[in-house]
Amino acid sequence: MVSDPRVSSLLSRLGGLYRDPSRVDRDASNLIKSAVGLHLVPGIAPLVENNGNASNCLVLQGTISIVYLGQTYQQLVDIYLPPSYPRSPPVTYVRLAPGMYMKENHKHVGGDGMVYMPYTHEWNARTHSLIEMVVAMSSVFSASPPVFSKPAEAPAPAAADPPPPEYTSSIFQSTQNNGSSIINNNTTSLESERYIQEQMQAILAREAEEANRAADIARQAAREDAE
């Protein structure tokens, strides 16, 4: 298969990092042009190996397909080709998409996202390939996905509108108060009228009494004149 120009360009930038750059070029190009590696993009990134050595190397970044419960998902991965490739196996890390979390105690993925599989553990430069490794990884992750998403938290309930003011009791009280005032006013008016009537009756009684007294005096005077 024809080499991918992107891979060739990156290998030229890495200089003499690989002892067999043509093999690296061929394997990486075959993978990204295959059906299982269509969503992988070549690049250069630092890799820290188990012995503590760190170096920039070729990395294939993107997604691989997994099928879980009848649904196809794209799992983010970084596939590093260490400087000792193909004598040493690729080093793969699972990456997290936003909102995803690493599954704890996964059989094939460490807490740092590093992938452990029998295929890479038994890696043989003469018989193994990157394409077969990705197929094996897709199979392993389809049986047990290494990541999961948490259910979205339900939004906090909107603050309830404050209840309307209680007018009933106030109105009732106001009505009671107004009624009391009306009753008091009416009572006062009746008492005033009764007082006035009593006073008028008292005045009339005095006037009648004085009139009778004056009549008695006049009659007595008339009798005296007649005698």
pLDDT in tens, 73-127: 999 999 999 999 999 999 999 999 999 999 999 999 999 999 999 999 999 999 9
Tell whether pTM > 0.85: no
With a CB cutoff of 8 Å and minimum separation 6, the contacts of 95 are 76, 77, 78, 113
Per-residue pLDDT of the chain (227 residues; tens, 9 = 90+): 679 999 999 999 999 999 999 999 999 999 999 999 999 999 999 999 777 888 999 999 999 999 999 999 999 999 999 999 999 999 999 999 999 999 999 999 999 999 999 999 999 999 999 999 999 999 999 999 999 998 766 666 666 666 665 544 444 344 444 544 444 445 444 555 565 566 556 555 666 566 566 556 656 665 666 65
Q: How far is CA 41 from CA 10, 79, 188, in A?
A: 11, 10, 101
**Other residues' Cβ atoms within 10 Å of the Cβ of residue 183:** 10
CA 211 remoteness from chain centre = 102
Range list of β-strands (E), 49-201:
54-68, 71-81, 91-94, 100-102, 147-149
Determine the angle formed by the axes of helices 130-143 and 21-32, rounding to 10 degrees. Answer: 50
